Chain A
Amino acid sequence: MNLDYLWSGFAVALSAQNLLIGLIGAFIGTMVGALPAIGPINGIALLLPIAYTMGLPPESTMILLAAVYCGAEYGGRISSILLNVPGDAGAVMTAMDGNPMARQGRAGEALMLSGIASFAGGMIGATGLALFAPLLASIAIGFGPAEYFVLMVFAFATLGSMVGSAPAKTLIGCVLGLMLATVGLDATSGAYRFTFNEPELGDGIEFVVLVIGLFSISEALLILENQTKGHTVIREMGRMLARWSDIVKITGATLRGSIIGFVVGVLPGTGASVSSSVSYTTEKRISNSHDTFGKGDVRGLAAPESANNATACGAFVPMLTLGVPGSGTTAVMLGALMLYNIQPGPMLIAERPEIVGGLIASLFIGNILLLVLNLPLVNIFARILTLPNWILVPGILTLSVVGVYSTHSSIFSVILMLGIGMVGWLLRKGGFDMAPIILGFVLGRVMEVNLRNALAISGGDIGILFQSKISLILWAMAIGIAFVPVLLARRAKKRRIAAEQVEQSA
């Protein structure tokens, strides 16, 4: 296997500028992760326009955003442990055993152990990514318009498993994203669609405008609405150094959690919230012989924490190799590449090895930076948990407006962003997830253009979509991923009913 791209990637990531960018990203990411109100996707949405306007080259921007993403997975544990409020979706399970430990006066130990578990998860995930990425890239040249279209069908099929609780709302969100993607200049016919003679809509709805509106503005409104009701921060840290015996004890759980996390991350459409709960329940089944889980067991802390970090790395695999985002956050990063006129997809690693290699290398370096940052500085990060809303909300709003205006220097964009933010807020109150909208938006245009190009090549014959081996495999995978979860759920339901019947008859 040729790993040249990775070594040259280290050269990119180790340049003084990119190291500094990575460090800044890691620091911001940890803060963003620790703040219960905002998650990695908000952090990235707010930073993207700033990085872009500062004229950072694309590889530096990707390094910054990746550092924020990974940092948030580290930071999420802090509020889980100290507040019993998960800092982001991936840290929900960390609170299960982390907070009991803190209440037993072992907060410092819990933070250090979870930091080590995060580090292991991140490193294992990054290694998997480095090995995986070039494998898929070798088949890249076979991807023509027809194959791309089927690939997008596959990506949308994975959405079903993304937010299982309300599939209808996921689909509606996705369709909304698709609809928004049709606004603007049609890339095939050159006609303007849904622009209402407004020249500023000629290029469509700008990605930054949509992302900041949907995530940041609606988030600020939500925070204002549900003024947090005074959580008690645990200030007694206890001893800051973990016991060696505990570190040995968590080794198995950390390794298992990392591998589960990576695999779940690679599957498009599933994120850290899935992987951390899968790894926690797996670990509980394997190790909970003395019924210590949920009462401050270090293994229950390590498993989900290593998993959510490994997932963050795993999610880059489909994004970098296929151009299919593995999570909402990578969907935003995909949009960031498009902002730089870089078309993500199977050709990316061949055409821009410095971006793929630099990003993967920066994950290795970033994890080391994060470990170094997180062990001694945990007290500082813990302090920002008490950041009052009257600083937080205006801060988010200011960054949003400045970010959008600096990217597009148009008032129209700012107003559009605010409008989208209001709609996003209403949708979120209605129980809609924002990630499918972004996925629909990012993938919709690619899907449409490639379908039309495929049909242009074949002269309107739909058979071209089923011609190549790649297409057929992708169709099979799409059908599989769309229906297997449904079947599994049905089987589980049958079993439950059967079990209930047994109980009743007993």
Chain B
Amino acid sequence: MKRSIIGLLAIAGAFAAVTLPAQAEPAKPECLAGAKPGGGFDLTCRLAANSMLETKIISKPMAVTYMEGGVGAIAYNHVIGKRNTDGNLITAASSGSALLIAQGKFGQYDETAVRWLGAVGADYGVLVVAADSPYKTLADLIAAYKENPTQFAIAGGGAVGSQDWMKGALLAKAAGQEAKQMRYVALEGGGAVLTALEGGHVKVGAGDAAEMAQHHAAGKVRVLAVMSPKRLPGSLQDVPTAREQGMNIDWPVWRGYYVGKNVSDADYKWWAAALSKLAQTPEFAKEREARGLFEYTMIGEPFEEQVKADVVRFKTMIKEAGL
């Protein structure tokens, strides 16, 4: 009798072992946002949480939790230190995270301390001028900049070394000025860049497409170039890319997720498959558009490579700029 119970249990256990871990949905799906509610990471988390439930890829609602600090540094260290094997958890990241890793601002850990899961959307860098600016094309701007490099204050929504600063540095480089000589004004966010342009305090602004597109459509600023491989849809469709204007550079600001380093392959694969499936649904496309993101899907192995390449690229730029 006793033996048969054990036998039954063994069979049941074996059965469970076969069915449960392989491609099973996480019991308690959770997305960690390394910021305040309402911030960029929160939007990234909600994008997955809302559309995964809507498309029934997960059956239970995904919890969104917050851990503010160091633009995601606290969350990064938390995942590495405490949730390293947790297959329920994905954490929001962006290309800004890769930049901070390149700058060594995520503490002692580098980009190999987690597993990069996938990117599901991106915004693209843009260069803008005030609506009444005499410069109509990127070539105009670069020519004028070359003539008078000390007169060109460039504003961006981030510190020296931030992505906006790097976009400005690329412009300076195109105009033959060294990044160190660039007159860069570090403002808080795109709204402040807009105000500084309108007030005539700076001549050029560096920012992201989604935010500037509204102001471009409203006639407050002129977007001179989008840093994307092809033209962007919507109100920016008439704006040529930087490549079209002879500046060979893309600047995608991707948004995606990572998981702990020691999460099982099965869980990693489940999440990767889920994101791939999700990215093809119309529900997701709608959610992504509502958050001002353009199509940019890169999942699993290629994404791991992309993050590593980003970190290398950022490190090179930081070194070139002598920061």
Binding site for B on A (CB under 8 A): 55, 141-145, 185-190, 192, 199-200, 202-203, 341, 343, 347, 351, 408-410, 449, 452-453, 456-457, 459
- Of the candidates B159, B196, B201, which one forms a contact with A188 in the assembled complex, judged by CB atoms under 8 Å apart? B159
Which residues from A are CB-within-8-Å of B192?
A: 343
Check A408–B68 contact: CB distance below 8 A. yes
Contact of A141 among B161, B187, B188, B199 (CB under 8 A): B199
Q: Does B107 contact A (CB under 8 A)?
A: yes
Instruction: Judge whether A202 and B159 touch: CB under 8 Å.
Output: no
CB-based contact A187/B201 at 8 Å: no
Q: How far is the CB of A444 from chain B (nearest CB, A)?
A: 15
Establish whether residues B183 and A199, one from each chain, have CB atoms under 8 Å apart when the complex forms: no
CB pair A343 B68 closer than 8 Å: no
CB distance from B202 to the nearest CB of A (A): 7
Which chain A residues lie closer than 8 Å to B105 at the CB level?
Answer: 192, 202
Q: How far is the CA of A409 from the CA of B199 in the complex (A)?
A: 40
B183-201 contacts to A, CB under 8 A, are 183-189, 191-192, 195-196, 198-201
Query: Nearest CB to that of A192 among chain B residues?
Result: B105
Q: How far is the CB of B113 from chain A (nearest CB, A)?
A: 14
Q: Chain B residues near A453 (CB, 8 Å)?
A: 185-187
A506 CA / B196 CA spacing, docked (Å):
67
B: interface residue count bin:
35 or more
| Residue pair B73, A190 in contact (C-beta under 8 Å) | no
Query: Given A192-B105, A199-B107, A453-B186, does the pair A409, B67 have CB atoms closer than 8 Å?
Result: yes
Complex formed: what's the CA distance from A401 to B37 in Å?
20
A142 and B160 within 8 A (CB): no
Partner of A144, one of B107, B158, B188, B199: B199
Contact of A449 with B70 at beta-carbon distance under 8 Å, contacts A343-B192, A351-B191 already known:
no
Which B residues touch A449, using CB under 8 A?
A: 186, 188
Write out the residue numbers on chain A whose beta carbons fall within 8 Å of the beta carbon of B150: 459
Contact B73 A141 (CB under 8 A): no
Q: Would B199 and A142 count as touching, CB distance under 8 A?
A: yes
Which B residue sits closest to A186, measured CB to CB? B159
Assess whether A187 is in contact with B191, with CB atoms less than 8 Å apart. no
A410 CA / B69 CA spacing, docked (Å): 10
Q: Give Cα A112 to B159, complex, Å.
A: 56
For residue B270, CB closer than 8 A to chain A, the reply is: no
Give the chain B neighbours of A200 by CB distance below 8 A.
69-70, 74
Query: Is the CB of B296 closer than 8 A to any CB of chain A?
Result: no
Q: Is the CB of B69 within 8 A of A347?
A: no
Residues in B with CB closer than 8 Å to A347 are 195
Tell whether A456 pairs with B68 under 8 Å between CB atoms, given A190-B103, A200-B74.
Answer: no
Distance between Cα atoms of A401 and B260 in the complex (Å): 31
Docked-complex contact B199 and A188, CB < 8 angstroms: no
Minimum Cβ distance to chain B for residue A452 (Å):
8
Given contact pairs A144-B201, A200-B69, a sample of 11 additional A-B residue pairs in the complex whose CB atoms are under 8 Å apart: A141-B198, A145-B185, A185-B71, A185-B159, A189-B160, A199-B73, A343-B191, A409-B66, A452-B186, A456-B184, A459-B183
A187 and B153 alpha carbons, distance in the complex (Å): 17
B159 close to A187 (CB less than 8 A):
yes
| Residues A188 and B69 in contact, CB atoms below 8 Å apart | no
Write out the residue numbers on chain A whose beta carbons fall within 8 Å of the beta carbon of B69.
Answer: 199-200, 202-203, 410
- A203 and B68 in contact, given A141-B198, A457-B202 (Cβ under 8 angstroms): yes
A190→B153 contact, CB < 8 A: no
Q: Mark B148-186, 1 if CB is under 8 A from A, else 0.
A: 001001000011111000000000000000000001111
